[in-house]
Amino acid sequence: MDLSILGYQFMQNAILSAVLGGVACGLIGVFVVLMGLPFIGVAISHAAFAGAMLGLWLDFNPLLGAFVASFIAAAIIGPLADRGELSPDTSVGVIFSLMLGLAFLFMGLMPGTKSGALEILWGSILTNTRSDVMLLGIVAAVVVGLIIAFYKEFQATIFHRDMALAVGIPATAIFYGILFLTGATITASLRPIGGLLIFSLILNPAAAAYQLTYSMKRMFLIAAGFGVLSGLVGLLISYLFNIPSGATIVITSSVIFLISNFLSPKRKVKRWQRPSPLEEGQ
């Protein structure tokens, strides 16, 4: 294979984006999978998309719009899901559909060609700039740093929020922090992966890691590794066959999930789950 392509800055940016985006999305995915937040994550990713569309329409930085919109969505969704006046799925569904409606409204109001909007919708890792990579790098560093610093608080909150509160951990603040981190990761990954596909890159690597380990620390590491692997393999396939990178990255992550699910030791009966000889003899 001709490796001279690695000398080009656009390819270096793409590889860095794949690695950093893979790490951030993989790690955030662990929260999403273990806390049962897929629908909340989808709603936040659509809010980020709507914010980006607003930025494009009103001619300000679309990523700023995405950041603000995803934070606002997280701030609304958190209490809505907690208060329980409607079922969390119903209230989050209302926000999700509203965000999708707003995104298409802003797209429709946009004058001229909609190439910028389509780029954010589908993603284009090969056109990433240094500033895009910087943003992803900052978000990935914040996500990694916070997980290391507050691992025990995250672990307890993931395991059981009410129990975490009862032992004196600020679990509500931790939960909202997780929603904000999800929003920030989605925003930074919008351009390389795309608003429609980003959530798969959050869900699939973590869901794959979930099949393979009973250790939460290992699950974080495996999910980040699968995120990076999805990004790099997807990028390679995209480059080799000249097809959209967002799609190849997400399809790669889905294949990793399917293989992990097939190989999962959690599907097999463990020794400790089998009846004891005494019980077998009864």
Q: Which residue, 270 or 277, has its beta carbon nearer to other proteins?
A: 270
Sign of CA dihedral 182, 74, 146, 261: negative
Q: Is 142 in the site for other proteins (CB under 8 A)?
A: no
Q: Which residue, 16 or 223, has its beta carbon nearer to other proteins?
A: 223
Q: Which residue, 10 or 214, has its beta carbon nearer to other proteins?
A: 214
Residue 228's closest CA among 252, 212, 197?
252
Q: Binding to other proteins (CB under 8 A): which residues in 170-189?
A: 170
The amino acid at residue 239 is Y
Query: Of 117-125, 130-138, 212-220, 241-249, which part binds other proteins (CB under 8 A)?
Result: 212-220
**Total residues in contact with other proteins, by rule CB under 8 A:** 31
As measured in angstroms, the least distance from the Cβ of 177 to other proteins is: 12
Q: Is 269 in the site for other proteins (CB under 8 A)?
A: no
The two tokens of residue 18 are 């794949």
As measured in angstroms, the least distance from the Cβ of 131 to other proteins is: 32
Distances from the Cα of 36 to the Cαs of 30, 40, 43, 275, in angstroms? 10, 9, 14, 31
Query: Of 99-107, 119-127, 161-169, 255-263, which part binds other proteins (CB under 8 A)?
Result: 161-169
Query: Of 13-21, 67-75, 216-224, 248-256, which part binds other proteins (CB under 8 A)?
Result: 216-224
Query: Of 39-47, 90-98, 209-217, 248-256, which part binds other proteins (CB under 8 A)?
Result: 209-217
Q: Which residue, 70 or 204, has its beta carbon nearer to other proteins?
A: 204
Q: Which residue, 150 or 180, has its beta carbon nearer to other proteins?
A: 150
Q: Is 149 in the site for other proteins (CB under 8 A)?
A: yes
Q: Which one of residues 11, 12, 34, 39 is an interface residue with other proteins (CB under 8 A)?
A: 34
Q: How far, in Å, CA of 30 to CA of 202, rounded?
A: 8
Q: How far, in Å, CA of 133 to CA of 85, rounded?
A: 41
Q: Which residue, 74 or 156, has its beta carbon nearer to other proteins?
A: 156
Q: Which residues bind other proteins (CB under 8 A)?
A: 34, 85, 149-153, 155-156, 159-160, 162-170, 210, 213-216, 218-219, 266, 270, 272-273
